[in-house]
């Protein structure tokens, strides 16, 4: 339908990801300006009960595609369902979260329906003619680019988690649920998931974490990251690492923050023993608040940090963890 804004609702472990609500909040404003409606795309198996929550966050309609072949994400099955929906309904704008899944799915769908796509956007809006515009970091955040799209529809963007504000949900709002006929043959899916090895605990992924505690060369060895884990436990944070710490083999590659690792935007980033190489700073400088703990007062990280402590991190960290525990106990 012309002028409608679509949001791909990403489900993980039976829950809708927060970035979905961020997109619905922004998408609602755009749909109102365009005089169109806001729709969410909900794919999976036994996920119908989640449609209600999408309504609370502003979705007028939920396209619900349920099928056993959609239980786990595969590029082939998900892109087929979404591309067919787009072709049949012709939305103006389609948004995805710039998550591992969203960044696998969105370019595949965009190429199939020949749509423009901007990746990992930190801002989106409409130009005077009602066309999507986007702002996105390049060079891991060393520069930003404004993006405009061609006149053909739809235009697409994937949105960086934590970049857009969430409007409070309205529990009186109800979305109209449209059941989608899913036609998937086994031959359509050319990848089969054989196993999933869980490596992380309950902590959110770095790219979606609200708080990150990160360690660098100054941690001196893998065993000392236990101190960061303890601090992270108190803060409900995810532990990250600099390239130096990863290349030394102290931490897993998936923990690396920076231009050749993950670009992160938490509310709070605590950098411990990280000097702040340009490629690391690029990956975390969109954090809302940055705390640096480093014994070298000349370390470049202090130029990006909101709060800095120039001291030995091995003395600071235990005190910080204790203080925060006390605070937590006080409620």
Within residues 209-228, the interface with another protein by CB under 8 A covers 211
Shortest distance, position 273 Cβ to another protein, whole Å: 15
**To which H or E segment does residue 318 belong?**
helix 313-330
Mask of contacts with another protein, 269-308, x by CB under 8 A? --------xxx-----xx-xxxxx----x----xxxxxxx
CB 60 within 8 A of CB 39: yes
Q: Of 291, 266, 264, 268, nearest to 280 (Cα)? A: 264
Positions 35 through 74 that interact with another protein (CB under 8 A):
none
The least CB distance from residue 173 to another protein, in Å, is 29
Nearer to another protein, 142 or 173 (CB): 142
What is the smallest separation between the CB atom of 162 and another protein, expressed in angstroms? 13
Q: By rule CB under 8 A, what count of residues binds another protein? A: 94
Q: Return the number of the residue (42 or 290) whose C-beta is nearest another protein.
A: 290
Which tokens go with 53? 């929550």
Taking the least distance from each CB to another protein, the nearer of 40 and 110 is 110
Residues in 133-192 that interact with another protein by CB under 8 A: 134, 136-150, 152, 155, 190-192
Give whichever of 36 and 107 is closer to another protein, judged by the CB atom: 107
Counting Cα atoms < 13 Å in the Cβ hemisphere of 268 gives: 12
Q: How far is the CB of 294 from another protein (least distance, A)?
A: 11
DSSP 124: E
Q: Is 268 in the site for another protein (CB under 8 A)?
A: yes
Nearer of residues 59 and 110 to another protein, judged by Cβ: 110
Q: In terms of C-beta distances under 8 Å and separation of at least 24 residues, what long-range contacts does 107-110 make, across chains too?
A: 108/75, 108/79, 109/79, 109/82, 109/83, 109/156, 110/156
- Candidate ranges 37-45, 50-58, 85-93, 107-115; the one touching another protein (CB under 8 A): 107-115
Query: Among 46, 171, 226, 253, which residue interacts with another protein (rule: CB under 8 A)?
Result: 253
CB of 175 to another protein, least distance (A): 26
Residue indicated by tokens 């803060």: 235
Contacts (Cβ under 8 Å, ≥6 apart) of 225: 215, 219, 239, 241, 250, 251
Q: Which is nearer to another protein, 39 or 238 (CB)?
A: 238
SS3 of residue 23 by DSSP: helix
The C-alpha atoms of residue 256 and residue 263 are separated, in whole angstroms, by 9
Q: Decide if 40 contacts 54 (C-beta within 8 A).
A: yes
CA angle 153, 23, 242 (to 5 degrees): 110
Q: Determine, following the binding rule CB under 8 A, whether residue 87 of this chain makes contact with another protein.
A: no
Vertex 276, ends 203 and 214: CA angle to 5°?
15
Q: For residue 126, state whether it binds another protein (rule: CB under 8 A).
A: no
* Cβ at position 186, least distance to another protein in Å: 12
Smallest gap from Cβ 34 to another protein, in A, equals 19
How far is it, in rounded angstroms, from Cα 189 to Cα 199?
26
Closest approach, Cβ 112 to another protein, in A, equals 6
CA neighbor of 82 nearest in space, from 33, 40, 123, 126: 40
């Amino acid at each position: 339908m012309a002028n409608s804004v679509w949001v791909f609702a990403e489900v993980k472990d039976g829950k809708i990801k927060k970035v979905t609500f961020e997109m619905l909040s922004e998408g609602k404003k755009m749909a109102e300006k365009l005089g169109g409606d806001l729709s969410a795309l909900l794919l999976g198996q036994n996920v119908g009960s989640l449609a209600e929550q999408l309504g609370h966050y502003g979705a007028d309609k939920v396209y619900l595609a349920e099928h056993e072949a959609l239980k786990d994400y595969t590029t082939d099955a998900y892109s087929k369902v979404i591309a067919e929906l787009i072709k049949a309904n012709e939305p103006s704008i389609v948004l995805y979260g710039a998550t591992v899944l969203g960044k696998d799915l969105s370019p595949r769908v965009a190429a199939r329906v020949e749509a423009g796509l901007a990746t990992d956007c930190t801002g989106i809006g409409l130009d005077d003619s009602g066309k999507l515009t986007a702002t996105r970091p390049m060079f891991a955040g060393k520069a930003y680019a404004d993006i405009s799209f061609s006149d053909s529809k739809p235009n697409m963007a994937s949105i960086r988690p934590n970049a857009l504000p969430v409007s409070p949900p309205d529990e009186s709002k109800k979305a109209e649920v449209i059941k989608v006929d899913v036609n998937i043959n086994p031959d359509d899916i050319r990848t089969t998931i054989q196993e999933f090895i869980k490596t992380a605990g309950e902590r959110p992924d770095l790219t979606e974490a609200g708080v990150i505690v990160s360690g660098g060369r100054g941690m001196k060895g893998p065993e000392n990251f236990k101190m960061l884990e303890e601090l992270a436990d108190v803060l409900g944070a995810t532990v990250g690492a600099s390239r130096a710490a990863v290349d030394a083999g102290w931490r897993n590659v998936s923990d690396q923050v920076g231009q050749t690792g993950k670009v992160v935007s938490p509310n709070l980033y605590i950098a411990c023993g990280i000097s702040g190489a340009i490629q690391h700073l690029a990956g975390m400088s969109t954090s809302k608040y940055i705390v640096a703990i480093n014994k070298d007062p000349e370390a470049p990280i202090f130029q990006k940090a909101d709060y800095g402590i120039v001291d030995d991190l091995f003395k600071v960290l235990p005190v910080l963890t204790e203080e925060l525990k006390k605070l937590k106990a006080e409620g």
